[in-house]
């Protein structure tokens, strides 16, 4: 629960800026990167609930159909969580490739859900551009998340007095 509380203000600030000042710009998908980060670190229940909450917030801020992003992020969390048992996401290049693939899967899942509900969406232009931007900036964002997580809850040794 600690990671959710650490990453929630960052996510809300991202959604506020994304929906107001940077509405037309391709930005990295910070909630997707956070969900990916939590999934490969093996935070099971907290990660699923966080993925759902971040997706719900994304739909609320963007004015989309409530539940589409939550559905996509929960599926991505479960897939990455299972995949992390087979693949180690230790290098920035592997993380970036995984996040790029996750962004494409998220776009495909949302495209499928929205087309079933008869909503017109542009898949090729928007999803690929957002996935590339997210994949390219993922190593820097993950480094920031690691520092933020370490700053918010520093590890203490068992016999330490402080």
Residue at token pair 């079933």:
116
pLDDT of residue 149: 83
Per-residue pLDDT tens for 91-143?
889 999 999 999 999 988 888 888 888 777 676 677 888 899 999 999 999 99
Q: Would you list the domain boundaries of the chain?
A: 28-146
**pTM given for the model:** 0.86
With vertex at residue 155, the alpha carbon angle to CA 154 and CA 158, rounded to the nearest 5 degrees, is 145
Taking the alpha carbons of 119, 125, 130, 131 in that order, is the dihedral positive or negative?
positive
Number of Cβ within 10 Å of residue 55's Cβ equals 28
**Helical segments of 84-160, H only:** 92-116, 123-152
């Amino acid at each position: 629960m600690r990671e959710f509380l650490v990453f929630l203000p960052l996510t809300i600030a991202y959604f506020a800026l994304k929906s107001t000042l940077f509405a037309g710009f391709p930005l990295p998908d910070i909630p997707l990167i956070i969900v990916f980060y939590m999934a490969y670190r093996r935070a099971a229940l907290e990660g699923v609930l966080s993925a759902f909450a971040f997706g719900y917030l994304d739909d609320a801020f963007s004015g989309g159909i409530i539940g589409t992003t939550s559905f996509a992020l929960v599926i991505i969390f479960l897939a990455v969580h299972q995949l992390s048992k087979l693949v180690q996401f230790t290098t920035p290049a592997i993380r970036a490739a995984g996040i790029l693939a996750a962004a494409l899967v998220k776009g495909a899942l949302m495209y499928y859900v929205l087309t079933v509900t008869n909503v017109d969406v542009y898949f090729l232009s928007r999803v690929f551009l957002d996935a590339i931007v997210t994949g390219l900036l993922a190593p820097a964002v993950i480094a920031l998340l690691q520092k933020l997580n370490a700053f918010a809850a520093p590890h203490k040794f068992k016999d330490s007095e402080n």
